[in-house]
Amino acid sequence: MDLSKKRVAVTGGAGFLGVALLDLLAKRGVSDVFVPRRHAYDLTTEDGVQRFYADGKPDVVIHLAAEVGGIGANRDNPGRYFFANMAMALHLIEHARINQIDKFVQTGTICAYPNLTPVPFKEENLWNGYPEVTNAPYGIAKKAAMVMLEGYRAQYGLAGAFVLPVNLYGPRDNFDLHSSHVIPALIRKCVEAQDRGDAFIECWGTGSASREFLYVEDAAEGIIRATEVLDEPVPVNLGTCMEITIKDLVQLIARLTGFDGEIRWDSSKPDGQPRRCLDTQRAKDMLGWEAQVGFEDGLKTTIDWFRTNRDSMD
């Protein structure tokens, strides 16, 4: 699909991932883009979705919008996160069918994988168990959207794609300490502790859990490639195949930010899923896509962006 000849709507286009994706669409010559803003279109309601399609008149919808956060936010909002993410997908996919659009692209989450998935995670293991409990409502809502797309492809011929990005990071991320994911939260903790001259920072869990991280521009490129080449909503992992423990991650971010104080662990707080690391062979085979940004380089860019922009966040 030549997206430069399509009208493309990007839900969540004003957000962290959305801004990076819009930049890459522009570089591909895609100029006819519609970005619904939350204050004008509540996509958890059918009325909001109907108006979105009536006003936007898209040929293609790339659905990035989500209500999501780190372990603490997921633990505090399990009902809301299930409802909001399920409702958005439910109404958006149904009205994609009604409006006979060319393609619907759904971003999933690796929170959908079973808690004890063999590492590296392969797409065929997506249904082999229940997700980690702290983020299961969010993950199941996203996985249900894939099933809906599969059904709509089979019954109505709606072309679709479904990608599973690993944990994202990069400039413009959410740096709120309660609702953010681990990398922006750690960057903020280390930078602010260094500025105050604190002797230590405190981190959740034991540090033993592992994670994999994907730079936001690499994720955006993978999603666009899926939009261009996929018609069937088969799950496709987007990641780097690089696993790092949270303990090693904290030490790395402390070094890169210059924080040299003590790191204390609060083992009364949850670690979350024990391990996360993706097999990305399917993305290479089906999309011709691989991550390009090295982890330390991406972290340095993200730290520099936070230091430059943090005064405007308060």
Our answer to whether residue 41 is catalytic in this structure is no
Position 84, amino acid:
A
285-312 in b/e form (b: 16+ CB < 10 A) is: ebbebebebebeebbebbbebbeeeeee
- How many Cα neighbours within 13 Å face the side chain of 158? 29
CA gap 107, 233 in Å, rounded: 11
Q: How far is CA 166 from CA 107, 147, 278, in A?
A: 11, 20, 8
Among 53, 138, 152, 215, the active-site one is 138
- Tokens linked to 170: 């990069």
Strands 167-169 and 213-215, bridge-based pairing: parallel
What is the strand order of the sheet 8-11 is part of? 33-34, 8-11, 60-63, 103-107, 160-165, 235-238
Nearest to 63 by CA among 138, 142, 127, 1: 142
CA gap 134, 285 in Å, rounded: 33
284 alpha-carbon distance from chain centroid:
19
**Residues belonging to the active site:** 138
